[in-house]
Amino acid sequence: MGYTDSSDITSRYEMTKLLTALVDQTASFNVGSTAKQEDFPDDTPTFTFTFSRDFKTHGYFGDGSYTAENVLV
What would the pLDDT profile of 51-67 be if each residue is shown by its tens digit? 999 999 999 999 998 99
> What phi and psi, each to the nearest 5 degrees, are found at residue 46?
-115, 165
pLDDT digit string (tens) for 2-54? Answer: 689 999 999 999 999 999 999 989 999 999 999 988 899 989 999 999 999 99
Q: What is the pTM for the complete model shown?
A: 0.81
pLDDT over threshold 80, residue 69: yes
pLDDT of residue 3: 85
pLDDT of residue 1: 56
Q: Which residues contact 9 (CB under 8 A, 6 or more apart)?
A: 15, 18, 32, 33, 34, 49
CA distance 42 to 51: 27
Strand blocks (E) in 1-73: 29-33, 48-52, 58-62, 65-69
